[in-house]
Amino acid sequence: MDSSEAIYNALKKSGIDFVVSLPCVNLGKIMEIVDSDKEIIHIPVTREEEGFGICAGAFMGGKSPAMLMQNSGLGNSVNVLASLFELYKLPVMIIVSHRGTEGEFMSAQIPMGKATPKVLDALTIPYFNPKNPDDALNIIPKTWQIAKTKGTPVAILLDIKFW
């Protein structure tokens, strides 16, 4: 199975019906598939923090929201994840293209790539690291259950080697 299709299928299996996105080269194909799915509301945004605000409103309106973003966007979103999502116990599925991992060709991606798991730890956000499409298809729906039950954001870190 294609890696992008696996993520899309896993989101569908989880019941995700509201997707907010900012692009990464690795997320291009998923964004296209999501955009053509009429059952999913897809909102491209200008900055990840804004996107999380939109996801919070969508959840309160009855939707199951997910963010598609590069890990750099996590740095833009620390406060909203703490003082909106943790404070009000709101779930959101965060699909992260994790740059700066093994195989990275761009040195500029390394610092935030290294910081990403530590930032998630600091925010006590559970995260998982599927290694291949089958793994992702299995892990993502279970992770969304954790998010809904506990009222917390959850993250799926997709290393460069995943794609």
Partner 1 sequence: MERIKAIKKISSQLTKQLVICNIGFPSRELFHVKDLSTHFYMLGSMGLASSIGLGLAMSTTRKVVVFDGDGSILMNLGSLVTIFNQNPENLILIVLDNECYGSTGSQCTYASTVDLGKVAKSIGFKTIFFFKNSEEINFKKVLKSEGPIFVHFKVKKGNANVPVIPMEPVEIRDRFMDEIKNPK
Q: Supply the minimum distance, in Å, between the C-beta of residue 79 and partner 1.
A: 6
- Cα-atom radius of gyration of the chain, to the nearest Å? 14
In 41-106, alpha helices (H): 48-60, 72-75, 78-80, 87-88
Spatial separation of the C-alpha atoms in residues 116 and 93, rounded to whole Å: 16
Structure tokens given for 107: 């040195």
Structure tokens given for 14: 């989880």
Residues 96-115 that bind partner 1 (CB under 8 A): none
Q: Which stretch binds partner 1 (CB under 8 A): 88-96, 102-110, 116-124, 139-147?
A: 88-96
Instruction: Rule CB under 8 A: say whether 135 interacts with partner 1.
Output: no
Q: Supply the minimum distance, in Å, between the C-beta of residue 161 and partner 1.
A: 32
At 97, give phi and psi (nearest 5°): -75, 110
Q: Supply the minimum distance, in Å, between the C-beta of residue 104 and partner 1.
A: 28
Q: Supply the minimum distance, in Å, between the C-beta of residue 17 and partner 1.
A: 9
Could you tell me if 71 and 42 are in contact, meaning their C-beta atoms sit under 8 angstroms apart?
no
Instruction: Rule CB under 8 A: say whether 46 interacts with partner 1.
Output: yes
Instruction: Rule CB under 8 A: say whether 122 interacts with partner 1.
Output: no
Residue 47 DSSP label: S
Site string for partner 1, 8-37 (x = CB under 8 A): ----------x-x-----------------
Binding footprint of partner 1 on the chain (CB under 8 A): 18, 20, 41, 43-47, 49-63, 65, 79-80, 82-84, 87-90
